[in-house]
Chain A
C-alpha cells in the first residue's frame, strides 16, 4: 500500500509520516508512506494508492480529486485534529478505509 501525504511544502506532513510508519509496523500493515509538496502531487499519481491532503491545503481538494479520479486514486483531506496531534494511527486508518472503499 502506497500512501501519499501532501501539504504546502511537504515539511509539516513529514512529521506525520514517521508516526504513520510506526503505526503501520505496529499493526503489521505493509505501507510505504511519503510526504510531498502540493506542486509534486501530479508526478506521483501513477505510483500511489491513496492521497491525503493536509487540512491547510484543503482548498486544492477538488482539483487534486479530479486528477485522482482519472487514475482511480482516492483523495481526501486529513482530519485537522488527527493532523494537529500527529495521530499516525487514525490517519493510517483513514487511508486504509479510503483504499478499501
Chain B
C-alpha cells in the first residue's frame, strides 16, 4: 500500500507542480482571487437587501436603489476588477510595470466586452440622451473574456518591451517621463488589435470563450450531481496526497466558481428568490455543506480524536478543534496524518462524497434553496449555511446532519487507526513523550 502511495505521489506531484507554477494559470488564480474582498462585501449588501422579516421589504423599498449601488459596483462589475487583477499579476511575473499592464488589460477588456449605447432622444423619467454603458457587461458574464483579453494584452506588452520596441527619447529626459512613453506603443497595439477584432471583424471574443467554457462550467459548478462529485473528489484526492487541492485546481475552477456564485447573486438581487438560481454546485455549496471543518469534512474526525484513548490523538484533537471550527484543517491533515495514510484516506474521500449526495437530495426535495451569498470561508458552517441560503433554517440542520453522517463514516476507520496508535504508544515508552513536547494548546 505504501509503495502504491509513493508511486501515486511521484506521478501526481510533477503534474501539480506544472499546473501550480504555470505563469498564465497562476495569474488567473491570483488575479481572480484578488477580487475576493469586493465580492464578499458586495454579498453583505445582497443579504442586507433581503432580510426575511415581515414588512422589511416595504420599509426598505425607498432605499432599494441606493442600497443596490455597492452591490452593483462590486459583484456587478466583477469582470472589470478581474481584468486588472489578472493583467497585473501576469505583469508581476514578467517584472513589467504592473500599473501599465493593469490599464492595458482593462482597456482591452472594455473594448472587447462593453458596447456603449447612444441614446439620441431623452425619454423623461426613463433615460436621458447621451452615451451609456450597460453595466451588466462588466459583470461575471464577461469574466472569461476579461481573463483572456488581459492575458493577451500583457503578452503583447511583454513581447514589445522584450524586443525593445518603444519610443526612445534622448538620455537627458528623466526616467519617469521616458517610462510613461514606454507603454505608448503597446497601448496602441492593444487598442488596434481588440478594436479591430470587435468592430472590424465583428468577432466577440467574450461570447466565444464563454460558449467554449460553458460545457465544462455547467458540469463542474452547475447543477450536475456527477460534476459536483467530481469536483469534490479531485480536491480530496489531491489533499490526501498532501497537496493543496483548491490551489492546484484553482486556475481552472476558480473563474468558474466565481462566475457561478456571482450569477446566483445577480439573479437573487433581481428576483429575491433563492429557490430558483442558475447554479447549485457553487464553491459555497461545497464549502458549507461538505467541507464541515475543512476539506474532507474533518471536524467530525477531530471530535473523535478529542475522545480518543490515545494520548497523541487526544492532544491533536485539542489542537485542531478551534481551527476546525473556522474550517482550517491543516493541523489534522498533516498531524494525524491523513496524508498518505491508507486508513484515514478512505473516509476522508468517502464522507464528503456522501455529504454531496445527501445535500443534493435535500435540494431536490425542495428543503433547501440555492446559495445566494458569498461569506468568508472561516465562518462557522451551520451559521454560514443558514445566512447564505436566504435564511433557511433547514440548511443549518443539513450541516449538522452531514456532520453526524461523516462522524459515522469516520468512526470505524478512526477505531482502526486508534488501535494502531495505542499499540505503538504502549510499545515505545520514551519516543512519543518527545513528540508530544511540542503539542500543546493552540
Contacts and interface: CB of A to CB of B under 8 A. Distances in A.
A80 B242 CA distance: 9
Contacts of A57: 20, 244, 247
Given A83-B330, A84-B334, A56 B438 contact: no
A55 B334 contact: yes
Contact of A86 (B16, B331, B339): B331
Interface residues of B, number: 35
A58 B336 CA distance: 18
B442 interface: yes
Given A39-B30, A59-B16, A62-B17, A89 B336 contact: no
A75 to B, nearest CB: 14
A84 B243 contact: no
A66 to B, nearest CB: 10
Interface string B399-421: 00000000000000000000000
B167 interface: no
A11 interface: yes
A60 B331 CA distance: 20
B17 A85 contact: no
Interface residues of A, number: 29
Interface in B284-337: 315-316, 319, 323, 328, 330-337
Contacts of A81: 334-335, 337
Q: Is the interface of B mostly helix, strand, loop or mixed?
A: helix
Contacts of A88: 438
Interface string B4-40: 0000000001001100110000000010000000000
Most buried by B among A7, A12, A56: A56
B212 interface: no
Give the interface SS of chain A, mostly helix, strand, loop or mixed: helix
Interface in A56-101: 56-60, 62-63, 80-90
Contacts of A11: 328, 378
A54 B317 CA distance: 20
A1 interface: no
A15 interface: yes
Specify which of A11, A15, A39, A84 lies most central, judged by the most chain B CB atoms within 10 Å of its CB. Answer: A84
B243 to A, nearest CB: 6
Interface of A: 7-8, 11-12, 15, 19, 38-39, 42, 54-60, 62-63, 80-90
The 10 A-B residue pairs whose C-beta atoms are closest, nearest first, are A84-B335, A84-B334, A87-B438, A12-B330, A56-B244, A59-B16, A80-B334, A59-B17, A85-B335, A8-B244
10 contacts: A7-B330, A12-B323, A15-B442, A56-B243, A57-B247, A59-B17, A59-B20, A60-B20, A84-B335, A85-B316
